[in-house]
Amino acid sequence: MRAAPGSLGWLVGKQLGWQWRGLTGGQRTGLIALLVAVTLITLFLYMALRALLRDVNLNAPLPDQVFGPVLLAQVFFFTLMVSAAVTAALEALFTRGDLDLLLHSPTPPRTVLASRALGVMLSTALTAALFLVPLLLILLVLGVWRGLGLLGWWVAASALAASLGLWLTLGLVGWIGVRRTRTVASVIGALFGASVFLVSQWPNMMGGAGRDRIALFSALAQISPGQGGWPGRGSLLWLPVRAAWLEPGPLLALLVGAALILAGTISALTRRFTQGVQEAGEAGGRRAATAPGGTRPLRFASGGQATLLKEWRLILRDPEVLSRTLLQLVYLLPLFLSIARGSVSGAVGAALVLLTANLASNLARLTLDAEDAPDLLITAPRSPAALRREKWLAAVLPTALLGVIGLLLLATRGALSPGVPASLLLFPLVLLGTGGAALMVLWQPLPLRRADAFRKRESRPLVNVVASLVFQSGLSATAYAVTQGQAWGLVTLIVALAALGLVFSLRKSDVR
């Protein structure tokens, strides 16, 4: 039986269809391959663990020693889900642009907001599905019926995370606006995902892997009921752990509490949005009757400053650019720390030269190639050559500044080279790497829409790809040779400059 148009079931069905298209892109191949992979992994783990756990009563009450690790894992997943809920709530309430239309329709506002809240809850649950579904399947195939409690905790945590995400989104939008909220949510999500990698690499970064792991396990063992000042098993602190292991009372309390909180959030959202729609209509009428004489005059920057500010603002407003850039830096942080401790002597300068050159190339792809209004720029009162130079500077200046600051910090720690002249030679190499990498993009343009910068992969000419790789690798090798006082660095520098010269000889016009 199909739900009536405008009902909660009908709206939730539309929400599910929209999220399905967003998840799969209308293609089922990827989803089927993912399901097959999860099934094969589950069968492999079942065969590996069946003999090992044959004599263990897996349906017994959870031992006190594992309460701490389980609670920490639940906190991790819940935080991940809250981060996803903020992004989903921002999309459902503000980005899609159809909420005002639905609130003015004959459909009750509470029904509209309930469908959106349930959609946010579903998106939140899908965030943790990649981890929780295989774990749940493994528990079930091993005959652990208590594993069904994990499913109940997952539903309750999704409802709580969706409620918290909705309130955080409304607060952030009211404070900094929709556009900045989207950027903040994307950056926080990227950093939070990278934090897992950093935690896993922490012993290696600190240089005492074995000792730190033992200390970590000892600290986790102290987080258990009745140990080290922690409350007993009956405390509310351990309620999520007991609920996940299918203890009826805690699981029922968690589910009922999450449902009540989600219902209260929907009720509060209904009042907030209906009042907002009414106030927006009244304010629009007042603005139409008011003369615009009290508005402040607009201020415009002039010349190259305007182009630089425009490009930097577009980069800062692009959540995907920021998240990818931050992830690139975060994932290289363990390498830098291990190198700075002297495990790979002299290589930290080479790594920094390579990182800044690669980052400058990526930013140049956005400032020089990704332009949504090329016709508008052509008609601007600026020469095309001046615009191209300013767009090139917009990509080079931030990365060169980042590289110089990094070199100064590493030099103060003595991590670059024992010789001061050799360390000073790294500064021009950083400037050459950032400027040259961006010049290669300037000389070999490949126009695309900014919205497709990370979604559409045009095939660049092979000579450009090889020349860019040779240039960045050659400068990185030169930096390593400089810090080691080796003369062969002159050869790699000549090779890098030859690659740059090759791209210059094949340069094209990027006037569009």
- Whole-angstrom distance, CA of residue 209 vs CA of residue 206: 7
Domain that holds residue 367: 319-505
**Amino acid in the structure at residue 29:** T
> At 448, is the secondary structure helix, strand, or coil?
strand
pLDDT for 402? 85
pLDDT digits over 394-408, tens only? 888 988 898 888 888
Segment 89-111 mean pLDDT? 78
- Whole-angstrom distance, CA of residue 387 vs CA of residue 67: 60
pLDDT at 372 over 50: yes
- Whole-angstrom distance, CA of residue 213 vs CA of residue 465: 42
pLDDT for 186? 65
**Amino acid in the structure at residue 54:** R
Q: Quick check: is 43 in a domain?
A: no
Do 323 and 277 lie in a common domain?
no
What percent of the chain clears pLDDT 70, i.e. is strictly above it?
66
pLDDT for 255? 95
Can you say how many angstroms the Cα of residue 256 is from the centroid of all Cα atoms in its chain? 32
Do 225 and 350 lie in a common domain?
no
- Whole-angstrom distance, CA of residue 435 vs CA of residue 400: 8
Task: Examine the fold and report which residue of 260, 281, 302 is the final residue of a domain before the chain moves on.
Answer: 281
Q: Quick check: is 123 in a domain?
A: yes
Do 235 and 99 lie in a common domain?
yes
pLDDT band at residue 283 using 50, 70 and 90 as cut-offs = very low
Mean pLDDT of the chain: 75
pLDDT band at residue 511 using 50, 70 and 90 as cut-offs = very low
pTM for the full model?
Answer: 0.63
What percent of the chain clears pLDDT 90, i.e. is strictly above it?
10
Q: At what angle do helices 420-443 and 347-364 cross, to 10 degrees?
A: 20
Segment 319-346 mean pLDDT? 56
Do 399 and 462 lie in a common domain?
yes
Q: At what angle do helices 67-90 and 148-176 cross, to 10 degrees?
A: 40
Do 382 and 253 lie in a common domain?
no
Do 261 and 357 lie in a common domain?
no
pLDDT digits over 454-502, tens only? 554 455 667 778 888 889 888 888 888 887 778 888 899 999 999 998 8
Report yes or no: 335 and 411 within 8 Å, Cβ to Cβ.
Answer: no
pLDDT for 302? 62
- Whole-angstrom distance, CA of residue 372 vs CA of residue 387: 15
pLDDT for 250? 92
pLDDT at 280 over 60: no
Which of 13-17, 291-295, 398-402, 420-424 reaches the highest mean pLDDT? Answer: 398-402
Q: Quick check: is 292 in a domain?
A: no
Higher pLDDT pick, 508 / 290? 508
DSSP string computed for 164-213: HHHHHHHHHHHHH-HHHHHHHHHHHHHHHHHHHHHHHHHHHHHT-HHHHH
pLDDT digits over 164-216, tens only? 988 888 887 777 776 667 667 666 665 665 565 555 555 555 554 455 555 55
Among 467, 480, 400, which residue's Cα sits nearest to residue 432?
400
Do 135 and 233 lie in a common domain?
yes
- Whole-angstrom distance, CA of residue 237 vs CA of residue 217: 21
Which of 179-183, 192-196, 359-363, 365-369 reaches the highest mean pLDDT? Answer: 359-363
Task: Examine the fold and report which residue of 233, 255, 281 is the final residue of a domain before the chain moves on.
Answer: 281
pLDDT for 510? 46
- Whole-angstrom distance, CA of residue 335 vs CA of residue 332: 5
pLDDT for 423? 65
Residues 6+ apart with CB under 8 A from 280: 100
Higher pLDDT pick, 141 / 347? 141
Number of domains in the chain: 2
Q: Quick check: is 303 in a domain?
A: no
- Whole-angstrom distance, CA of residue 351 vs CA of residue 186: 27
Do 114 and 246 lie in a common domain?
yes
Do 431 and 351 lie in a common domain?
yes
Residues 6+ apart with CB under 8 A from 418: none
Q: Quick check: is 98 in a domain?
A: yes
Q: Quick check: is 1 in a domain?
A: no
Q: Quick check: is 254 in a domain?
A: yes
Report yes or no: 472 and 440 within 8 Å, Cβ to Cβ.
Answer: no
Do 376 and 324 lie in a common domain?
yes
Task: Examine the fold and report which residue of 261, 281, 301 is the final residue of a domain before the chain moves on.
Answer: 281
pLDDT at 256 over 90: yes
- Whole-angstrom distance, CA of residue 231 vs CA of residue 494: 67
Q: Quick check: is 36 in a domain?
A: no
Do 180 and 236 lie in a common domain?
yes
Burial class (CB in 10 A: 0-12, 13-18, 19+), 86: buried
Report yes or no: 448 and 370 within 8 Å, Cβ to Cβ.
Answer: yes
Residues 6+ apart with CB under 8 A from 342: 415
pLDDT digits over 384-393, tens only? 777 888 888 8
Do 165 and 272 lie in a common domain?
yes
DSSP string computed for 46-111: HHHHHHHTTTS-TTSPPPGGGHHHHHHHHHHHHHHHHHHHHHHHHIIIIIS--HHHHHTSSS-HHH
pLDDT for 263? 93
